[in-house]
Amino acid sequence: MPQVTAATKEDGQLCPVQNVLAKVTGKWQCLIVLALEDGPQRFGQIKRLIGDITQRVLTENLQTLERDGYLTRTVHPGPPVAVSYELTDLGQELVGVLKPLVIWASERFDRIIAAREQYYA
């Protein structure tokens, strides 16, 4: 197993595992990547698929995912001008890693909720 701990903040920033996981395991990043699984989507479509994300948060997360190479942003000339987002090969690989976690979570949700209720009882 790769080393996943770091002695200092600087070491953590240089750690491949911590560095990558910090950028792709957030709630919004995962949902955005999964929303793009079936092909290119426009901003409004992504927002509707996710639901409870604000426009600002969606914009920031799309920029981060684009910067790190998980998706591309394409501007289609208008009028009206349209912008779409699509997963890169790296983004498609990430979907392959995330989907088993999503399935796992979905299949065990009842058990997790029951454990939480028992903990607080």
Q: What is the CATH number of domain 9-120?
A: 1.10.10.10
Does residue 14 surpass a pLDDT of 80?
A: no
pLDDT tens-digit series, residues 35-73: 999 999 999 999 999 999 999 999 999 999 999 999 999
- pTM, entire model: 0.85
What percent of the chain shows pLDDT beyond 70?
A: 97
Whole-angstrom Cα Rg for the chain: 17
Q: DSSP 3-state assignment of 97?
A: helix
**Amino acid 4: pLDDT:** 67
Domain ranges of the chain: 9-120
Mean per-residue pLDDT of the chain: 91
pLDDT tens-digit series, residues 88-100: 999 999 999 999 9
